[in-house]
Amino acid sequence: MGEFVVRGGRRLDGTLRVHGAKNAALPIMAASVLASGPVTLEGVPRLRDVDVMTEVLTALGATVRWVSHSSLVIDPSGINEYVIPQELMMKMRASIFVIGPLLARMGHAVALQPGGCSIGDRPIDIHIYGFEQLGAQVSETEIGTRLDAPELQAGLVHLSYPSVGATENLMMAAARTPGETRIRNAAMEPEIVDLAQFLEKMGATVRGAGTSDIRIVGQRELSGVTHTIIPDRIEAATFMLAAAATGGHVVLENCIAEHLPGLMGRLRDVGCRVEERDGDVVELTTPEKYKTTPISLHTGPYPGFATDMQAQFMAFLLKVPGVHIISERVFENRLGHARELRRMGAQIVADQRVALIYGGRPLHAADVRALDLRAGAALVIAGLMTEGETVIADREIIERGYQDLDRRLTQLGADIIQR
């Protein structure tokens, strides 16, 4: 595995264009399985997770090819397989997104239940419950959990928790199932709305995406379409926090401020100026000096504070004088980066769910490790605001979710290289 080497202490300044959202691209790639003809996706980020989804689709019999640096064409007409290869399931949990489309298209799907990962156990019981409500039979086999439903039945599914993945999986299956399916207590993330728009273009009717009550009227035949993926709100947040942590300034193009509730307000609370322009441009200017402001937040399903921004925000808070509290409420074990940040001298007291962060105290460079994708991004931010050479091991974990991170930060004036 490689490393990022960051020589920090430089103020970031510049303009960047935000890439398409990983978490919208992955389910929409999976939803292409539903189409009768080729699908063209634009604004697809070049990421390891996108490569794994490409492998999954190819293993099922689809053809996938890049036609420009950010456009993919997926032709699902050759799909003849319904078992998701075990090694791909192990590589990426999001492979599970293919289950719903496969079940609707082929009447069967088999997948290994994803195991525990560094941020918690992450079961798929809510996905499975939803498919059962739509008439699928579930059985455990040697190669994984098998779902059979020669004909799915539209119906009502009430989720016990607004799981993003379960909502998406059920929306995809429902889009190819005649009749009206209603998902209550659905997730409300912007990526759900993007998926809904994609399914609508293909021929399904989707009402209520972005609320907790989604209704989908499916069609037996869905057509191949062209779709542009929404901007990545987590990439945008990461660049804003990196700039803010170095006392810098950044202009982000292709950034939808509305998708960042919680973040904008808190950046303003500590004295940053955040301006929105022209619908999709956001400019962040940091104050001379952060005032002492205790910040308290907890993560939650959208429109709550995104768990995927929590680690990066924690790194940024180390810059802001005051005692801050972060409570992680989406995943049961997503504060591991506190330990890595402590290696850099950060004063953080944390258990599995809650962290107390003593901000405004100096850090020192150290050798640290990216435990998961966003934890890794947090360490990059900490490295950028710290004098000396911070070495972040397991760079590839960060690259699962950030395209050209080192090149883009260098563009803003950072000193970061990979090796």
Catalytic residue numbers, as ranges: 117
Site for ligand UD1 in 107-126 (CB under 6 A): 120, 122-126
416 contributes a contact to ligand UD1 by CB under 6 A: no
Give the 3-state secondary structure of residue 307. Answer: helix
26 contributes a contact to ligand UD1 by CB under 6 A: yes
In the complex with ligand UD1, the residue whose CB is nearer, 82 or 331, is 331
User: Cα–Cα distance between 369 and 1 in angstroms, integer?
Assistant: 11
In the complex with ligand UD1, the residue whose CB is nearer, 251 or 260, is 260
Site for ligand UD1 in 145-164 (CB under 6 A): 161, 163-164
CB of 165 to ligand UD1, least distance (A): 3
Residue 264 token pair: 């904008």
Please list the residues that pair with 64 across neighbouring strands.
74
In the complex with ligand UD1, the residue whose CB is nearer, 22 or 319, is 22
User: Cα–Cα distance between 333 and 364 in angstroms, integer?
Assistant: 26
Residue 214 token pair: 């989604």
265: Cβ contacts below 8 Å, ≥ 6 apart: none
For helices 22-31 and 190-202, give the axis angle rounded to 10 degrees: 30
CB of 379 to ligand UD1, least distance (A): 18
What b/e sequence results for 344-357 when a residue is b if at least 16 CB atoms lie within 10 Å of its CB, and e otherwise? bebebebeeeebeb
Measured over the CA atoms of residue 174, residue 180, residue 182 and residue 186, the dihedral's sign is positive
In the complex with ligand UD1, the residue whose CB is nearer, 290 or 305, is 305
CB of 10 to ligand UD1, least distance (A): 29
210 contributes a contact to ligand UD1 by CB under 6 A: no
What is the spatial order of strands in the sheet that 347-350 belongs to? 296-298, 322-327, 354-359, 347-350
- Does residue 307 contact residue 336 with C-beta atoms inside 8 Å? no
Site for ligand UD1 in 261-290 (CB under 6 A): none
- Total interface residues for ligand UD1 by CB under 6 A: 19
CB of 111 to ligand UD1, least distance (A): 12
CB of 88 to ligand UD1, least distance (A): 14
In the complex with ligand UD1, the residue whose CB is nearer, 166 or 375, is 166
For helices 373-384 and 233-245, give the axis angle rounded to 10 degrees: 20
94 contributes a contact to ligand UD1 by CB under 6 A: yes
In the complex with ligand UD1, the residue whose CB is nearer, 4 or 97, is 97
176 contributes a contact to ligand UD1 by CB under 6 A: no
Rule CB under 6 A: choose which of 19, 105, 127, 233 binds ligand UD1. 127
CB of 28 to ligand UD1, least distance (A): 11
Rule CB under 6 A: choose which of 254, 307, 310, 386 binds ligand UD1. 307
Q: What is the 3-state secondary structure (H, E, C) of 351-368?
A: CCCEEEEEECCCCCCCEE
SS3 content of the chain, % helix, strand, coil (to 5): 35, 30, 35
Rule CB under 6 A: choose which of 39, 99, 166, 370 binds ligand UD1. 166
Site for ligand UD1 in 329-348 (CB under 6 A): 330-331
Please list the residues that pair with 348 across neighbouring strands.
357
Rule CB under 6 A: choose which of 3, 75, 232, 308 binds ligand UD1. 308
> Which single residue brings its beta carbon nearest to ligand UD1?
165
274: Cβ contacts below 8 Å, ≥ 6 apart: 240, 257, 264, 267, 268, 282, 283, 284, 285
Rule CB under 6 A: choose which of 3, 8, 19, 23 binds ligand UD1. 23
User: Cα–Cα distance between 141 and 268 in angstroms, integer?
Assistant: 53
CB of 353 to ligand UD1, least distance (A): 11
Task: Note the residues at the interface with ligand UD1 (CB under 6 A).
Answer: 23, 26, 94, 120, 122-127, 161, 163-166, 307-308, 330-331
